[in-house]
Structure 1
Amino acid sequence: MSNIVEGMNFDETGFSYSMSLISGKYKLPILYSLSAYGTFRYNELKRFLDPISFKTLTSNLKDLENCGLIIRKEYQEIPPKVEYYLSDIGKSLMPILDQLCDWGEENRAEL
């Protein structure tokens, strides 16, 4: 084993940590939607990301909120109103995701 890898653990890398925050089928589409179109209400996001299930959307939104990438704002009114938008740290991830999108556009025809 190489001296570089000895004593290291992939789970302790920045890459592993970053991927743990955004991995999953819908987390990146949720982040993209909030970045590209701004604040969404729950049902708007559900319709936009169709065919996502209510359970999956709820779970992904909670995960993204718990790790600080999005903010959930609840209004005390009837009927209840809840909005989701990117936090500052979530916004700081967007240039990286934009580069990933650019790479995909440049290379999808070749791959």
Structure 2
Amino acid sequence: MYKKKLAADIRCPLEYGLEVFGGKWKSRIICVLAAQEPLRYSQLRREMSNITDAVLAATLKELLGSGMIQRRSYDEIPPRVEYSLTDKGHSVVPILQSICRWAGMFYKENQTEYPLTQCEKCDYR
């Protein structure tokens, strides 16, 4: 397992927030779960489209550890596991939507290489 060489050096609430929900995948996972929760791992993987299993699993563990999502497993055969947002996770959705609206004003809309398909779900316009 990967071990950080340096201890976390969080000196302000903004740094904490970016640590908890920042980065490429964490905010996307939160937005997908906000739009349609609960989701099973395979459904979440399908919605994320461009993420590897290793990165998805690691990111889910980080979000679980920070209390943003919850994992519920059912005692069934075959086993079933679902992920959903916690109250803490739901509380960050309006913040992400505000960031998305702000970024939507400045993102180059004529870029066809990377369309804003993921953001269409959060109504940034």
In the alignment, structure 1 residue 32 sits paired with structure 2 residue 57: no
Distance in 1, matches of 2:98 and 2:22, equals: 17
Distance in 2, matches of 1:24 and 1:103, equals: 17
Distance in 1, matches of 2:31 and 2:90, equals: 10
Could you tell me which residue of structure 2 aligns to residue 69 of structure 1? 68
Per the TM alignment, residue 11 of structure 1 is displaced from its structure 2 partner at its CA by 2.3
Could you tell me which residue of structure 1 aligns to residue 119 of structure 2? none
Distance in 1, matches of 2:45 and 2:74, equals: 19
Moved over 3 A (4+): none
Larger radius of gyration: 1
Distance in 1, matches of 2:20 and 2:76, equals: 32
Percent identical: 37
Taking structure 2 as the reference length, what is the TM-score of the superposition?
0.75
Unaligned runs of 5+ in 2: 1-8, 110-125
The 3-state SS of whatever aligns with 2:82 is strand
The alignment yields a C-alpha RMSD, in angstroms, of 1.6
Q: For 2:32, give the aligned amino acid.
A: S
Per the TM alignment, residue 24 of structure 1 is displaced from its structure 2 partner at its CA by 2.8
Distance in 2, matches of 1:35 and 1:50, equals: 17
Equivalent residues, number: 101
Q: For 1:52, give the aligned amino acid.
A: I
Per the TM alignment, residue 109 of structure 1 is displaced from its structure 2 partner at its CA by 4.3
Distance in 2, matches of 1:18 and 1:68, equals: 12
In the alignment, structure 1 residue 88 sits paired with structure 2 residue 87: yes
Distance in 1, matches of 2:71 and 2:79, equals: 13
The 3-state SS of whatever aligns with 1:62 is helix
